[in-house]
Each structure stands twice: as C-alpha cells, then as structure tokens.
A and B are shown apart, each in its own frame.
Chain A
Amino acid sequence: MNIAFLSDIFYKLLSGVPLTLNLTIVSLIGGGILALLLNSMRATLVGNAVASAYVFLFRGTPLLIQIFVIYYGLSAIPFIRHSFLWTFLREPYWCGLLALILNDAAYTSEILRGAFRAVPPGSYEAAKVVGMTPWSTFRRISSPIALRQAMPAYSSEVVALLKGTALVSTITLMEVTGIASAAVRETWRAIEIFLCAAVIYLTLSLLVTWLFAYAEGRLSPWLFREAR
C-alpha cells in the first residue's frame, strides 16, 4: 500500500462524484414524476394494466440490459436516428439517464402504491364525512400520510439507485466507477482503487440514510417524540 497513490486515486475518483450525484438526483426527480403519472393511471382499468405491465417489465429485467437496449438498441433503429431524439440518444449521458429514470419509476411507483394503500381507510372516511372534495383529501390527507409511510422504503430505493448509477460506466460515462475501472486498466491495482470507490459509495449511502432518518423524524414526530 502506498499512501501517496491512495490519496492520488481518491482525488481522481472524487472528480466522478458530481456526475454520480447528477445522475442520481435527476433520475430521482424524473423517476418520481413518472411514478406519480403511472400511479394516477391506475384509476382506470386500461391504465392499471399498462402501469402493471410497465412495472413488470422494468422490475423484471436487469438495469444493465435496459441500459444496453437503450444505448445500443435504439441507435439501430433508423427512425430514431433520423428524428430529433437522436440529438439526445446518441449521447451516453442521456441514454444512461433515460434507463435510470425508467427503472427508478417502476420501483418508486410500487413504493407509492403500497404507501397509498396503507393509508388507514378511517382517514379517508373522516375526510369524506366532513365534506372534503377528493382533491383536497388527496392533497391534505392521503398524500401526506402516504409519503411519510413511503420514507423507509424510498430511502432504500435512493441508495439502490445511487449504486445503480455505477452501471452506466459500461457505456463510457466517467462517474466514480467509470474512473475507477479506467484507472485499474492503467495501473492493475484493482484492490486499492475499487476499495476507494467502495468507500465513496458507502459514504454517500450513509449520507442518504442520515438524511432520510432526519426527514422521517421531522415528518412523523409522533413516532419518535413523546407527548408534550
């Protein structure tokens, strides 16, 4: 082990953190919006079938294959190569991001669905019986309760997505894992380099976990604080 080499590689890997975070955060936003759309589709029979098929497809196949299909597969379709989509889909960044968004949406929509189903029926009835409109009930009663209930599962999804971004290194994106594998190819010092990368992911995961624990405490104080 060589401290100078370690710190050198550590700084190199850190330069990949912005891209890792960028992919994670943008995917969470995009995936979250798509998940909400998927869930609102479930109100109708056809929409429900479409949403279920979507979730089945994206949860049932490896993220790596989804990335490859989008990056290598779509470029093989002439229609796409000749459309405006090509300005985005020829870039590995947009392909990777698209795969992550689509994948995250499937998981997040399932988390949301479970959370909304776990809202106590009595809370809906109490809202109905005071004369609330369905929209107010959604806004003021069911969403706040459901989102709080979704937090523990959602924090796992955020960590899973954070680690999932490592897979876009296979389509040439130089985030933390991409930089690490490039460095390994140059130096053949796999253990030091990959351990360094692991420490970075571990730290980020820890931050996410703390953030969610804090948010949970703020959002659901009755679970943590004693009565005044």
Chain B
Amino acid sequence: MNNTNAKPAIAIKALRKSFGPVEVLRGIDLTAKDGDVISMIGSSGSGKSTLLRCIPMLETPNSGEVTVGDDHIVHNGRKLSKSDNATARGIRRNLGFVFQSFNLWPHRTVLQNVIEAPVHVQGRRHHEATEEALTLLEKVGLAHKRDAWPAHLSGGQQQRVAIARALAQRPKAILFDEPTSALDPELVGDVLKVIRSLAEEGRTMIIVTHEMGFAREVSSRVVFLHQGQIEEDGTPEKVFSNPASSRCKEFIGSHFQRNR
C-alpha cells in the first residue's frame, strides 16, 4: 500500500464466538487494507465461515471489535443496543456478501434482485440503479437473463447474479463465503473467472474457499485457520510453499495430493 496510515477497510480485533459450549473463534485479529484480496483456508470446523459471518453480524460475536470504514462495534456479550443495530446496518450497507447457497430472492427477477438494495436500502433512483445493474449483469455475463427468475437459472448463473447484487451496493469490500462449494464442477470456472476479474480491478475482498489453486493465484494474502485461531498468515507463496506451522503444511499437502 502506498499510504500505510490509511484506515483499514476491515479491522477485526480479539474476536471470540461460541456456539453453546463450543468455542468456534478463539481470539481473531485480522486487518484488510484497501485492495487486499485475502483467502481464508482451513479444514471444515476451523471457524473460517463463522469468522466471515461475524463481520456483517450474521452471527453475533461474544466479544471483540469489528470496524468497517467508519463504523465500529464493540461486542461484550450483551444484547445489541439500538445504536449498535444501526451501526450494524451501516456496516452491512458497506459490505457485499456472497453466500455459498446464493440466496437470491425467489420472488424477484434477476434485475430486481440486483436493484433491490440500491433502491430500497440506499435510496438511489430506480433508473440509475437499473442502468448500473445492467452494466454489472453485463460484467458477469448475464445481461440477457435480466428478466429471468432465479429458479430458472443454473447454480453458476445464480451465483454470478448474487455477485452482481453484492457489487450493486457499491461496497467497500466484498466477502465470499465458499462461493463455489455448492456448484457442479463444470460451473465453478465461470464464477471463479468473475471473482478473479474483481481481484484484478483492485477490489477489497475476503474469500473463504476450498479452491487452493485459485486462492494461490488471486490472493494478495492467505490466512490459514485452525481450531478458531489464525495459524498462518502471509503471501500465497509463503503459506503454500513454505508454511511455518506444521498443521498448515499438513493441510496444504493433503489438498494438493488429493487434487492431483
């Protein structure tokens, strides 16, 4: 980064989260600067999806701090106050989130899905939002499906619409929660291509993924989670070729072996 004093896009401090007696996140510190493309890897149950979902508070952390742009929330285990909820909405408006299972609204067409948040949450003009949405749909290769229903699209197409929907919010950063895990293998490529083009544009992204080859190529940073803690954090070259942690080495070794 040119400006090291710039505010980070996303900052997470000492984040903890338990589901009942199970502590899923055990003190996470993570900062994403503008333009960072961070891949989070780790075995199932390592807490990577939970960590991602804690940022826009789809899960409420037990303790810790989350900062997105100017919005800052301190979690202390108590119920969120009214102003906390307003801050949470502020955080969400500044983030795009792409789910593993797409989660398009079934009663809205492709175009309506994309303009819903710009028009009805951010209060932008309908025709402006529509114009921008069409550009975004063009970008993900689905402009011709603008009037189709989500139920009539393939998984890969739905996920690309979901990405356009996230982009339509003009987010400061985009979070991807295993965006290709629910897709048939032959559809994965189209979605990865779109994500890769976003990385090349210099967008700030955090991607939870099992696509190791993809993570290695597009990320500026790779984070390896193990049992709710960050075990390894560095450039893709370092994490994939020369990890300090033996668990990380094992995980990556097993992955590349399996994919061979």
> Which residues of A approach B to under 8 Å, CB–CB?
120, 122-123, 125-133, 136, 140-141, 144-145, 148, 220-223, 226-228
How many B residues touch the partner, as a band?
20 to 34
| Inter-chain contact A228/B148, CB cutoff 8 Å | yes
How far, in angstroms, from A120 to B153 measured CA to CA in the complex?
A: 17
| Inter-chain contact A136/B121, CB cutoff 8 Å | yes
| Inter-chain contact B58/A125, CB cutoff 8 Å | yes
| Inter-chain contact A222/B120, CB cutoff 8 Å | no
Chain B positions within 8 Å of A129 at CB level? 56, 58, 92, 95, 97
Contacts A122-B101, A222-B149, A228-B148 given; does A132 touch B106 at CB 8 Å: no
Q: Which residues of B54-101 have CB atoms within 8 Å of chain A's CB atoms?
A: 56, 58, 89-93, 95, 97, 99, 101
How far, in angstroms, from A227 to B149 measured CA to CA in the complex?
A: 7
How far, in angstroms, from A4 to B206 measured CA to CA in the complex?
A: 81
- B103 at the binding interface (Cβ < 8 Å): yes
Beyond A131-B121, A132-B121: 4 further Cβ-contacts under 8 Å? A128-B56, A145-B105, A227-B152, A228-B147
Number of A-B contacts (CB under 8 A): 71
Per DSSP, chain A at the interface is helix
Q: Which residues of B97-120 have CB atoms within 8 Å of chain A's CB atoms?
A: 97, 99, 101-107, 116-117, 120
> Which residues of B approach A to under 8 Å, CB–CB?
56, 58, 89-93, 95, 97, 99, 101-107, 116-117, 120-121, 145, 147-153, 165, 169
Instruction: Report the nearest B residue to A136, measured CB to CB.
Output: B120
Chain A positions within 8 Å of B107 at CB level? 144-145, 148, 220
27 contacts between A and B (CB under 8 A): A122-B99, A123-B103, A123-B105, A125-B99, A125-B103, A126-B104, A128-B92, A129-B56, A130-B92, A130-B97, A130-B116, A130-B165, A130-B169, A131-B90, A131-B92, A131-B117, A132-B89, A132-B117, A136-B120, A140-B116, A140-B120, A145-B106, A145-B107, A222-B106, A222-B152, A227-B153, A228-B148
Chain A positions within 8 Å of B149 at CB level? 221-222, 227
Instruction: Report the nearest B residue to A226, measured CB to CB.
Output: B152
How far, in angstroms, from A222 to B112 measured CA to CA in the complex?
A: 14
| Inter-chain contact A222/B92, CB cutoff 8 Å | no
How far, in angstroms, from A144 to B56 measured CA to CA in the complex?
A: 25
| Inter-chain contact B103/A122, CB cutoff 8 Å | yes
Chain B positions within 8 Å of A221 at CB level? 149
